[in-house]
Amino acid sequence: MAKQTLPVIETRRLRLRPMTLDDLPALAHMFADPEVMIYLPTGEPRSVEETQVELRYMVGHWQQRGFGVWAVTLRDTGEFAGYCGLQYLHEEPGGVSAEALRDGTDVEVVAGLAKPYWKQGIAPEATRAALRYGFETLRLARIVAAIHPDNDASRHILQSMGMKQDDTIRYYGDDVPHFIIRRGEFQIDDSVYQVLTG
């Protein structure tokens, strides 16, 4: 049986490659930082064991679905800056409640960066690439996102991509802003973007 070929995306500054179990040390270091975790699901630093659970979900999603969450790395140095990608809604930890999961099968765009890479435009660059892949290659009808109510930076990023707040979506609860964008609403620009194979 032929080995599954997974997509790698290159943008102007970034190389997005599928997450692997080898990313555990870097991801665990990132998830142990309280400042990084404050706006991410659970809102608390995670242990290595808790991080491993989430990473196994990410890797399994690639194996089962053929798409998923990429490790965000710098093209010039290969440094691990965080993660960004597309995944079906899944149960906690790091996901939604079992009750919410029964109500929908949406794909969400997710992202998180280690603190040294904040405020450099990396999150928008990675998010735009993920959305483009979702609409252009996967031909998804729509993509959703949810953010912490106080996360103004992420709100700005999602809105700059054309995502609009939708108060009818409640996957993460009534107090969490949810956003949505449909395929015809996403504007493809002339930014550097190339899909390679892994």
What pLDDT score does 103 carry? 64
Whether 3 shows a pLDDT value over 70: the answer reads no
Residue pLDDT, tens place only, 173-192: 888 999 999 999 999 988 89
What is the maximum span of the chain, computed from C-alpha positions, in angstroms?
Answer: 48
- Residue 1's pLDDT band, with cuts at 50, 70 and 90, is very low
- For the chain, domains (ranges, CATH) are 7-191 (3.40.630.30)
The CA-CA-CA angle for residues 128, 132, 136, to 5°, reads 175
- Residue 91's pLDDT band, with cuts at 50, 70 and 90, is confident
Residue pLDDT, tens place only, 108-163: 999 999 999 999 999 999 999 999 999 999 999 999 999 999 999 999 999 999 99
Residue pLDDT, tens place only, 29-78: 999 999 999 998 788 999 999 999 999 999 999 999 999 999 999 999 99
- Residue 197's pLDDT band, with cuts at 50, 70 and 90, is confident
SS3 annotation, 3-57: CCCCEEEEECCEEEEECCHHHHHHHHHHHCCHHHHCCCCCCCCCCHHHHHHHHHH
Whether 97 shows a pLDDT value over 80: the answer reads no
What pLDDT score does 2 carry? 46
